[in-house]
Amino acid sequence: MNRVYIKTYGCQMNERDSEAVGAMLRRRGYSLVDHESDADVVLLNTCSVRDQAEQKAIGKTGYLAKRKRTDPGFILGIMGCMAQNRGEELADRLPDLDLLVGTQKFHAVPDHLDNILETQKGLGPQPITIVDLDAEEGSQNTIREHLADKRQVSAFVSIMQGCNMNCAFCIVPKTRGQERARPIGAIVNEIEELADGGTKEVTLLGQIVNSYGRREIPIREGKSPFVQLLERVQDIKGIERIRFTSPHPRGFRQDLIEAYRDLSKLCEYVHLPAQSGSTRMLKLMNRPYSRERYLEIVDSLRNAVPDMYFSTDIIVGFPGEKERDFEETVDLFRTVAYDMAFVFKYSIRSGTPAATMEDQVPQRLKEERNQRLLRLLEKSSLVRNESLVGTTQEILIEGKAKRGNLYRGKTRGFRTCLVPATERLIGELVPVCIHRGTASALYGDIVLGGVDTVEPLLPQTL
């Protein structure tokens, strides 16, 4: 009765939360399984950022609820953002649900499951849906456990929770609450433990990572708390690569740009959400920067680190987006030549300011704009990968590729690379000579010797 399957929707933060819940459950004597059909307990860790993500989880819940009717011992729970966003309503709509846990209560899941099991054995009160959605002081410090018996070559580390920005489209401030930072010491301890277990790469996670600790930790020598944290992580033995996601263009200051120049472990890759290339749209979105300021950050980063890789989030079809606004986003794509991007069709999130704005954009236009950006992205991604053919790149081997006998890993610039390797090399940094590049992957062979310094790829006109 204690086999648990956790299904995760949405962002890396959700993946990290699921992993921590899994680790806590294991310690409590539960076992984690890879398929829902093998599980006595299914927990869905949900996302609310777009309607599609919520619908997927609701569909899944309906499907799993049927199993409850023939198998009354089966336990079904919803955790995370959708639980937080639509909690009570879900409890009413889905009476088969055993558990609803919000984003500040992940650490309470083991207790709740224990209680539900007791109830089922007839030891506790009558079965009801346990709903636990309250805010909890200090909950940002509860996500710190990793699956200790599994070596994580690359690990996510949550450094803060919540978001104080008020982007007109976004539900996250409602689902994740106000910004709360973890102390630097606690984060460093967690990463040291990971390094002891063989982790080589960490990705620091937060809704707006570069505003980390801005209320709790003073600026020192012109350095923001986030840059102070990066410097501490740089000094951790065994960690070879540092990444983070996601920063906000606001507050992306000179100290962070210099950190890219000065910290050898900070990989030359940044995911910098633009949302739109039109200053007019950014204003409507309540994003406090202009197109020019965004491009200034991109330029400063390229000046500090010529071989920088860029990724972004874009929303197409935000209310009021006209053809000329969209053309500015197309132009931004051409100017920055993104290596990667997530393009989202605007999705109405009830309770956010944009939900009731006039001039909602028809679905067909959103679709067209989405496709246009994706085509541009494919081109720029291919140009980048082809430019790497013939160079030698440092690859961190992460595991076996899905198909064939190849292993998969990443360059420092976050390009996926497939290479013939051996099990023994998982978790190692190896020099790989690239012999082929497609839009989605690089292919190469491990070589003896060092890696190349690559000539900077200048943004090209696509």
- Of the candidate spans 19-27, 345-353, 405-413, 414-422, the one that interacts with ligand 5AD by CB under 6 A turns out to be 345-353
Q: Does 224 bind ligand 5AD (CB under 6 A)?
A: no
List all residues 6 or more positions away from 335 whose beta carbon is below 8 Å from its beta carbon.
295, 298, 459
Residue ranges in 71-106 assigned as alpha helix (H): 81-93
Q: Does 50 bind ligand 5AD (CB under 6 A)?
A: yes
Q: Does 49 bind ligand 5AD (CB under 6 A)?
A: yes
Q: Does 326 bind ligand 5AD (CB under 6 A)?
A: no
Q: Does 309 bind ligand 5AD (CB under 6 A)?
A: no
Beta-sheet strands, E only, within 166-281: 180-181, 201-205, 241-245, 269-271
Q: Which of 359, 256, 374 has the alpha carbon at shortest distance from 317? A: 359
CB-based contact 143:16 (threshold 8 Å):
yes
- Of the candidate spans 198-206, 261-269, 340-348, 403-411, the one that interacts with ligand 5AD by CB under 6 A turns out to be 340-348
Nearest approach, Cβ of residue 50 and ligand 5AD (Å):
5
Nearest approach, Cβ of residue 163 and ligand 5AD (Å):
11
Instruction: Rule CB under 6 A: choose which of 22, 273, 277, 409 binds ligand 5AD.
Output: 273
Instruction: Rule CB under 6 A: choose which of 32, 160, 315, 457 binds ligand 5AD.
Output: 315
- Of the candidate spans 69-77, 154-162, 341-349, 433-441, the one that interacts with ligand 5AD by CB under 6 A turns out to be 341-349
List all residues 6 or more positions away from 446 whose beta carbon is below 8 Å from its beta carbon.
419, 420, 421, 425, 430, 431, 432, 433
Q: Which of 37, 26, 25, 24 has the alpha carbon at shortest distance from 67? A: 37
> Binding residues for ligand 5AD, how many (CB under 6 A)?
12
| Number of other CB atoms surrounding residue 206 within 10 Å | 28
Q: Does 275 bind ligand 5AD (CB under 6 A)?
A: yes
Instruction: Rule CB under 6 A: choose which of 248, 271, 349, 410 binds ligand 5AD.
Output: 349
CB-based contact 434:443 (threshold 8 Å):
yes
Nearest approach, Cβ of residue 169 and ligand 5AD (Å):
4
Radius of gyration (Cα) for the chain, nearest Å? 23
Q: Which of 395, 386, 382 has the alpha carbon at shortest distance from 445? A: 395
Q: Contact positions toward ligand 5AD, by CB under 6 A?
A: 49-50, 169-170, 273, 275, 313, 315, 344, 346-347, 349
